[in-house]
Amino acid sequence: MCRDWVAMSSRDIFNLPGSGGRERDTVTPHKIAVILYIEKYARLRPKYWEPRPHVDCEHDISPRQRKATSLMTVRLIQGSDMKLKELLDVVNDSELLPQHVTTFMSALHEMYCSGVDKLLTLFETVEKFTTQDNCLWTSVVGLYLRRMILAFRWLSFSRVTRLYQSFQDYYKECYGQDILPSCPPSSANQPKFIQPLVKLMNQLDGANMMDDTSYDIQMEDVTHGDEENTQSISENLPNMAENIGDMTEGNILGNISGNIAENSILGNVAENLGSAAAETSLSENADMTVCSAEIMAITQRQDNESSEQVPSGLLNSDGQLDESNINEQLGKTVNRSTGQLDGAANVSTVHSSRQQAELFIGQQTALLQFNEAAALTPQQLQESIRLLLKQNPDLAEAHYLSYLNCVRVKEYNGALHSLLRSYDRALLHRDTSRAEDHSKGFRYAALNLAALHAQFGHKKEGVAALQEAIRLAQESSDHVCLQHALAWLYTLLPNQKITLMKRSFVKSSELSLSYLSSLGMLNHVSQLAQTQATPAQLLQSILRAEAVNCQHSLVSLQHGAWGLRAALWTLWGNATMNALCSQLLLQLNTHHTTAPSIYYAAQPTCAAICNVAMLLASRGDYQLAGEVLQHAREQFPSHNQHADLWMFAEAHMTLSDHLHQGHWTLAQCTINSMATTQPIHAQYRECELMVAKGELTRASQLLGKLQKKEDLNVDLQVKLLLLESELLVISGSSTTALPILVEALALADKHHLHYLAALTRLHLANVQLQLGLVQEAKDSVEGGLSVVLSNGSVYDQARARLVTAKLQISDAKGNERKAKLLTAARSLDLVQQLFEKVKAFHRVRDALYLKTRLYQEVGFSEERNKSAYEFRQLEQQNPCLSFQPSVYSF
Q: What would the pLDDT profile of 333-354 be if each residue is shown by its tens digit?
A: 334 333 333 333 333 334 567 7
Side chain identity, residue 426: A
Query: Stretch 504-509: mean pLDDT, rounded?
Result: 90
Phi, psi of 333 (to 5 degrees): -120, 170
**CA distance readout (Å), 25 to 205, 351, 397, 787:** 22, 10, 21, 71
**For residue 138, pLDDT beyond 60:** yes
Query: Stretch 297-303: mean pLDDT, rounded?
Result: 37
Determine whether 417 is exposed, middle or buried from the number of CB atoms within 10 Å of its CB (0-12, 13-18, 19+): middle
**The predicted structure's pLDDT at residue 251:** 34
Determine whether 105 is exposed, middle or buried from the number of CB atoms within 10 Å of its CB (0-12, 13-18, 19+): middle
Residue 389 CA, chain-centre distance (Å), reads 21
Per the DSSP assignment, residues forming a β-bridge with 371 are 601
Phi, psi of 587 (to 5 degrees): -95, 0
CB atoms within 10 A of CB 163: 21
CB atoms within 10 A of CB 494: 8
Residue 586 CA, chain-centre distance (Å), reads 18
Query: Stretch 456-485: mean pLDDT, rounded?
Result: 92
Per the DSSP assignment, residues forming a β-bridge with 591 are 599
How far apart CA 469 and CA 472 sit, in angstroms, is 5
Q: Which of 176-180, 653-657, 857-861 has the lowest mean pLDDT?
A: 176-180
**For residue 515, pLDDT beyond 70:** yes
Strand 333-335 to 340-342 pairing: antiparallel
Q: Which residue has better confidence, 286 or 655?
A: 655
**The predicted structure's pLDDT at residue 177:** 59
H/E run at residue 334: strand 333-335
**The predicted structure's pLDDT at residue 562:** 95
Which of the four pLDDT bands, split at 50, 70 and 90, describes residue 832?
A: very high
Predicted TM-score (pTM) of the model is 0.70
**The predicted structure's pLDDT at residue 50:** 56
How far apart CA 760 and CA 748 sit, in angstroms, is 9
The CA R_g of the chain, rounded to the nearest whole Å, is: 37
Name the percent of the chain lying above pLDDT 70.
Answer: 73
Most distant CA pair in the chain: distance in Å?
Answer: 125
Side chain identity, residue 517: S
Q: Which of 131-135, 227-231, 687-691 has the lowest mean pLDDT?
A: 227-231
Among 662, 691, 658, residue whose Cα is nearest residue 672: 658
Among 189, 191, 145, 144, residue whose Cα is nearest residue 165: 189
Count helices and strands in the chain by DSSP H and E runs: 43, 2
Highest mean pLDDT among 63-77, 193-207, 324-338, 788-802: 788-802
Q: Which residue has better confidence, 865 or 250?
A: 865
Which of the four pLDDT bands, split at 50, 70 and 90, describes residue 428?
A: low
Query: Stretch 119-125: mean pLDDT, rounded?
Result: 86
Among 340, 790, 268, residue whose Cα is nearest residue 576: 790
How is 563-621 classified by DSSP, letter by letter? HHHHHHHHHHT-HHHHHHHHHHHHT---B-SS-TT-B-BSHHHHHHHHHHHHHHHHTT-
Side chain identity, residue 870: E
How far apart CA 888 and CA 795 sit, in angstroms, is 17
- In a 13 Å sphere around the CA of 648, the CA atoms on its Cβ side amount to 18
Q: What value does the mean pLDDT of the chain take?
A: 76
How far apart CA 378 and CA 50 sit, in angstroms, is 52
**The predicted structure's pLDDT at residue 82:** 82
Side chain identity, residue 142: G
**The predicted structure's pLDDT at residue 450:** 93
**CA distance readout (Å), 580 to 562, 577, 584:** 10, 5, 6
Show Cβ contacts of residue 260 under 8 Å, excluding neighbours closer than 6 positions: 274, 275, 278, 302, 305
**For residue 805, pLDDT beyond 60:** yes
**The predicted structure's pLDDT at residue 356:** 80
**CA distance readout (Å), 141 to 72, 111, 130, 483:** 12, 21, 10, 42
H/E run at residue 507: helix 497-510
Among 276, 345, 348, 281, residue whose Cα is nearest residue 312: 276
Which of the four pLDDT bands, split at 50, 70 and 90, describes residue 429?
A: low
**The predicted structure's pLDDT at residue 437:** 58
Highest mean pLDDT among 208-217, 279-288, 609-618, 691-700: 609-618
**For residue 131, pLDDT beyond 60:** yes
**The predicted structure's pLDDT at residue 123:** 86
How far apart CA 60 and CA 44 sit, in angstroms, is 9
**The predicted structure's pLDDT at residue 347:** 32
Show Cβ contacts of residue 546 under 8 Å, excluding neighbours closer than 6 positions: 558, 561
**The predicted structure's pLDDT at residue 153:** 86
**For residue 518, pLDDT beyond 90:** yes
Model confidence pLDDT, tens digit, residues 363-415: 899 899 888 988 999 999 999 999 888 888 888 889 999 999 999 998 999 99
Phi, psi of 341 (to 5 degrees): -75, 135
Task: With beta carbons less than 8 A apart as the criterion, state whether 589 and 566 touch.
Answer: no
**The predicted structure's pLDDT at residue 200:** 39
Task: With beta carbons less than 8 A apart as the criterion, state whether 768 and 776 touch.
Answer: yes
Q: Which residue has better confidence, 7 or 54?
A: 54
Task: With beta carbons less than 8 A apart as the criterion, state whether 697 and 687 touch.
Answer: no
Query: Stretch 216-240: mean pLDDT, rounded?
Result: 38
Phi, psi of 220 (to 5 degrees): -65, -35
**For residue 883, pLDDT beyond 80:** no
**The predicted structure's pLDDT at residue 281:** 33
Side chain identity, residue 708: K
Burial 636-664 (b: 16+ CB within 10 A, else e): beeebbbbbbbbbbbbbbbbbbbbbbbbb
Which of the four pLDDT bands, split at 50, 70 and 90, describes residue 732?
A: confident
Among 844, 797, 848, residue whose Cα is nearest residue 825: 848
Among 265, 34, 245, 231, residue whose Cα is nearest residue 150: 231
Phi/psi class of residue 530: alpha, beta or left (left: φ > 0; alpha: ψ in -120 to 50)? Answer: alpha
How is residue 210 annotated by DSSP?
S
Q: Which residue has better confidence, 729 or 5?
A: 729
Task: With beta carbons less than 8 A apart as the criterion, state whether 343 and 332 touch.
Answer: yes
Query: Stretch 724-753: mean pLDDT, rounded?
Result: 92
CB atoms within 10 A of CB 243: 15
Model confidence pLDDT, tens digit, residues 248-289: 333 322 332 333 233 332 233 233 323 333 333 323 333 333
**The predicted structure's pLDDT at residue 436:** 55
What is the three-state SS of 710-747?
Answer: CCCCHHHHHHHHHHHHHHHHHCCCHHHHHHHHHHHHHH
Model confidence pLDDT, tens digit, residues 481-506: 999 999 999 999 888 888 899 999 89
Which of the four pLDDT bands, split at 50, 70 and 90, describes residue 833?
A: very high
**For residue 479, pLDDT beyond 80:** yes
Name the percent of the chain lying above pLDDT 90.
Answer: 38
Phi, psi of 530 (to 5 degrees): -90, 0
How far apart CA 434 and CA 10 sit, in angstroms, is 24
**The predicted structure's pLDDT at residue 47:** 61
Residue 600 CA, chain-centre distance (Å), reads 10
Per the DSSP assignment, residues forming a β-bridge with 193 are none
Query: Stretch 448-470: mean pLDDT, rounded?
Result: 92
Helix (H, G, I), strand (E, B) or coil at 335: strand
Task: With beta carbons less than 8 A apart as the criterion, state whether 122 and 32 touch.
Answer: yes
Q: Which residue has better confidence, 549 or 47?
A: 549
Helix (H, G, I), strand (E, B) or coil at 528: helix
**The predicted structure's pLDDT at residue 351:** 59
**The predicted structure's pLDDT at residue 209:** 35
